[in-house]
Chains A and B, each alone.
Chain A
């Protein structure tokens, strides 16, 4: 039974030798391939070609746009760099001008302050002199009055107003000269 089974295995089955060209399989294969080609041509390859073309066009456009954008960016960068360089000079000039103005203002303020101080000093000196003069006068008048009063009481003679004034003037003169 075993022998028969194995022998049957070898002999049975509808297998065809691999090098046998079977017309029906060949025709089936041609039909399947043609059908596949037709289906894929309509539903796959055509959209795929369109998609790939669109993608390539988009990539080319994107690259071109990127190139243009790069050129623009470079131009803008150059302009900005030039602007920056100009801004640096302008800033330096502004700073120099500001410094000059500040110096002028400083000198003006200093001069004005000095003049004002001088005026104040002179005014103060004048006021002091005036005050001194007034004080001396008051002192002289007071001294004369006292002296006249004392002298009058000594000599028993009362001095009138004119004598009084002459004595003051004389005392002042002597005071001033003596001082």
Chain B
């Protein structure tokens, strides 16, 4: 995005940037906005704008770019350099808020929880984190040196080794989710253990969901004769996924199901249950053989077709479990990414007068998307549990 789409920009109250920026009239603006701003000096802004536009259009983010401000005859070199640096900063700020790295960074797994921090730059940024204690700290950190030679940040590189067992935000959220599920269903079990009906709105809602998963997910997918054996697994899958999905809607937390690592773990669990069920039912050889359907065709053709179909079916067995993981991950990740994009618009327009239009629109849009996300949270948990039931049912009753 180009900075000429921003309108006027007010510089942050930084020691090095205690100026306010000029207003722009953007004939070439992407959004076509004309926004008034603050102005400290009566510079020749048109020429500055040209420099800025050229700079942006060239995509040159080099801080040491060479602008010839001496020829303008306005102000000193240091002041012009400060303005240019600020414009570069604006480019970078926009690049930050709307860059894939930044947007995904708020959604993906991390070693810390994000907390509100204002202003969202400078010193405030380092405070907006709640770090998760690490079992084995990162050993590969590269210091990032400032202009004066001081270390101002550390680049944490990839984990060292294939498995380091670092607890991350999503792992913590999974633990929280598991505790929530246990804290709900153990008391619920005590309430209905003797066959009593639950009393109270909350427990009735839980009761309805429990019975719905049993009657509308497990029994149709697995069959009434075998469903009871797999109910605990189906219930755990559904309520654990649902809780993780809903935790993702809490600001400052995150959707653990928006990580392929987490959904893969759940899909692997399903895969093992499906395999174990099929092998227990038919034996290993029987289960392997059952992957190919029975065909009443010419024996010669059958010899050719059956191995091919068998290979496709076995391949499909793996694929459908992988898709189970990807479906949940993609839905949750995409939903939160959309919310992130909307909110990023606030960051981009925060220091412009556009914020008065963009801000309310973003709030409304974010609320609408969150309502949709709430629906998606339930739907995806249902889909995951239902497909799990179908896979188990298919293993018990092959073809």
Q: B78-107, CB under 8 A of A: which get 1 and which 0?
A: 000000011011001101100101101101
Please tell me if the beta carbons of A27 and B233 are within 8 angstroms of each other in the complex.
Answer: no
Q: Of B146, B231, B256, B262, which is within 8 A of A45 by CB?
A: B231
* Contact A3 B92, CB 8 Å, known A13-B111, A27-B165, A29-B262: yes
Please tell me if the beta carbons of A40 and B181 are within 8 angstroms of each other in the complex.
Answer: yes
* Contact A12 B262, CB 8 Å, known A23-B162, A36-B236, A55-B196: no
Which of chain A's residues has its CB closest to B207's CB? A52
Interface residues of B in 41-96 (CB under 8 A from A): 63, 85-86, 88-89, 92-93, 95-96
User: Which residues from B are CB-within-8-Å of A25?
Assistant: 109, 168, 170-171, 259, 261-262, 265
Q: A19-57, CB under 8 A of B: which get 1 and which 0?
A: 111111111111011111101110111111111111101
Size class of the B contact interface (CB-based, 8 Å)? 35 or more
* Contact A2 B125, CB 8 Å, known A40-B232, A49-B228, A54-B195: no
Please tell me if the beta carbons of B109 and A36 are within 8 angstroms of each other in the complex.
Answer: no
CA distance A51 to B211 in the complex (A): 12
Size class of the A contact interface (CB-based, 8 Å)? 35 or more
Q: Does A179 contact B (CB under 8 A)?
A: no
Q: Does A18 contact B (CB under 8 A)?
A: yes
Q: Does A17 contact B (CB under 8 A)?
A: yes
Q: Of B14, B138, B264, B268, which is within 8 A of A14 by CB?
A: B138
Q: Does A10 contact B (CB under 8 A)?
A: yes
Q: What is the minimal beta-carbon distance from A168 to any residue of chain B, in angstroms?
A: 122
Please tell me if the beta carbons of B192 and A55 are within 8 angstroms of each other in the complex.
Answer: yes
CA distance A3 to B101 in the complex (A): 16
Q: Does A155 contact B (CB under 8 A)?
A: no
Q: B369-384, CB under 8 A of A: which get 1 and which 0?
A: 0000000000000000
Given A18-B260, A45-B235, 5 other A-B contacts at CB below 8 A?
A: A2-B121, A3-B63, A12-B153, A33-B236, A43-B186
Provide 25 A-B residue pairs closer than 8 Å at the C-beta atoms, listed in order of the A residue: A1-B146, A4-B147, A6-B92, A6-B95, A9-B121, A12-B154, A12-B155, A13-B110, A13-B112, A18-B260, A19-B260, A22-B159, A22-B168, A24-B159, A24-B164, A25-B170, A28-B165, A29-B174, A37-B232, A40-B181, A41-B232, A44-B186, A45-B189, A52-B214, A57-B195
B positions within 8 Å CB-CB of A? 12, 14-17, 63, 85-86, 88-89, 92-93, 95-96, 99, 101-102, 104-105, 107-112, 121-122, 125, 138, 144, 146-147, 152-156, 159, 162-168, 170-171, 174-175, 178, 181-182, 185-186, 188-190, 192-197, 210-211, 214, 228, 231-233, 235-236, 240, 256, 258-262, 264-266, 268-269, 329, 333
By Cβ-Cβ distance, the 9 closest A-B pairs, closest first, are A54-B195, A29-B265, A51-B192, A45-B232, A25-B261, A47-B189, A8-B153, A14-B111, A44-B185
